[in-house]
Amino acid sequence: MLQNQWISTIASTLRAFDPISDTLDILIISFAFYQLIQFARKSRAGQLVKGILLIVVFYGLAYMLNLRTVTWVLNNVLTIGFTAAVVIFQPELRRTLERMGQTTVWAGRLFGNRRADPSLRGVWQSAVVAICDAAEQLSDTRTGALMVLERNNNLEEIIRTGTPMHADVIPEMLGTIFYEGTPLHDGAVVIRDGVIVAAGCVLPLSNNLEMGKDMGTRHRAGLGMSENSDAIVVIVSEETGIISMAKNGVLIRRLDRQNLFNLLQEEIVPPEETTETRVPTLKNLLRKGGAKSHAKAE
Ligand SMILES: Nc1ncnc2c1ncn2[C@@H]1O[C@H](COP(=O)(O)OP(=O)(O)OP(=O)(O)O)[C@@H](O)[C@H]1O
């Protein structure tokens, strides 16, 4: 009897299946679950998600066995727990939403993706050479350094914690900033569009428990910055002289000048302008539109 009921339910569900909208439905839900699992795995919310799943399983069992009081308690625990989780994991959720908002290449270009702006290619190319030269020299002299290379995520809040400046990226300038004893040597330098825009900046520290004991707070700050934004961070250890690069919460260690150059070239230097990349950005169109109307007015 129960079996027949199940079969007729499945049959009616299959009959109502719309290949287009239902496939889309399944794909969206699968993607959402995949993102949720990724979020749980990457953040400290992993244990919490396991706990919630356990409560959901108990809730299902209690419901099937018609345990009314247990069902009522678990129902309330889940409702309150969900609200509490949103409050407790607000930073992680915010970061995840910000990551989702990070534009794809095309959308990025449309809204003015600096990473793909060919007009910055020259300035970034010489900045990358200077950063590599400086990192090598600082490593030789065991001078600690922290350099944040801004990409698409705006680092205005970080810049505000330091001293604003506008200086070309040259090895001598970086060497002077990080020379112990100078007022700006503590903290990080922020480089935007191939120009040093601030020094002595305070970065968010990473909570990563897997970081080696041989790494101090400088590395923790560099890693934290890369977890909280799409910036690339170059770190020179004061103790060991080891050069590292942090990207998306991953630290690549023991780089020599050539390795660092190759990585930065790939990550930071905008590609050469070709007919394919010559896509008008919304920003440029607005700028051009503004310039035209300005010219007409004159
Ligand atoms: N939150 C932060 N933001 C920016 N810079 C930081 C931050 N925390 C530490 N630093 C930088 O790191 C320096 C101190 O780091 P610490 O002494 O822990 O590292 P260390 O022992 O020199 O090791 P290593 O350089 O190998 O990481 C500070 O002087 C400062 O310049």
In a domain? residue 106:
no
pLDDT reading at 249 higher than 80: yes
At residue 295 the predicted structure's pLDDT band, cuts being 50, 70 and 90, is very low
* Total tally of structural domains belonging to the chain: 2
Q: Which of 217, 225, 233, 243 to mutate to test ligand 1, by most ligand atoms within 8 A of the CB atom? A: 217
At residue 276 the predicted structure's pLDDT band, cuts being 50, 70 and 90, is low
- Encode pLDDT of 151-189 as tens digits: 988 899 899 999 999 999 999 999 999 999 899 999 999
- Provide, rounded to the nearest whole percent, the portion of the chain with pLDDT above 90: 45
In a domain? residue 76:
yes
126 with 251, same domain? yes
Q: Which of 189, 218, 226, 229 to mutate to test ligand 1, by most ligand atoms within 8 A of the CB atom? A: 218
- Structural domain including 26 reads 2-99
30 with 67, same domain? yes
* pLDDT for the residue 42: 61
In the chain, the largest separation of any two C-alpha atoms, in whole Å, equals 86
Q: Domain containing 160 — which CATH number?
A: 3.40.1700.10
Q: Is the CB of 186 under 6 A from ligand 1?
A: yes
Report the separation in Å between the CA atom of 50 and the middle of ligand 1, taken as the mean of its atom positions.
35
Report the separation in Å between the CA atom of 112 and the middle of ligand 1, taken as the mean of its atom positions.
34
In a domain? residue 279:
no
Q: How far apart are the first and last CA of the chain?
A: 86
How far apart, in whole angstroms, are the C-alpha atoms of residue 211 and residue 184? 26
23 with 162, same domain? no
Measure the CA dihedral 216/217/221/223, to 10°.
30
Q: Indicate which atom in ligand 1 lies nearest the CA of residue 186.
A: 31
**Which pair of structure tokens corresponds to residue 20?**
């287009």
256 with 122, same domain? yes
Label residue 110 left, alpha or beta by phi (over 0 means left) and psi (-120 to 50 means alpha). Answer: alpha
How far apart, in whole angstroms, are the C-alpha atoms of residue 153 and residue 129? 23
> What's the rounded mean pLDDT across residues 81-87?
82
147 with 95, same domain? no
179 with 240, same domain? yes
* pLDDT for the residue 296: 40
pLDDT reading at 288 higher than 60: no
Q: Is the CB of 219 under 6 A from ligand 1?
A: yes
Higher pLDDT, 45 or 187: 187
Four-residue CA torsion sign, 164, 165, 166, 170: negative
90 with 211, same domain? no
- Encode pLDDT of 108-125 as tens digits: 545 555 566 778 899 999
Go through the chain and tell me how many residues it has.
298
94 with 124, same domain? no
How far apart, in whole angstroms, are the C-alpha atoms of residue 63 and residue 157? 49
Q: Is the CB of 216 under 6 A from ligand 1?
A: yes
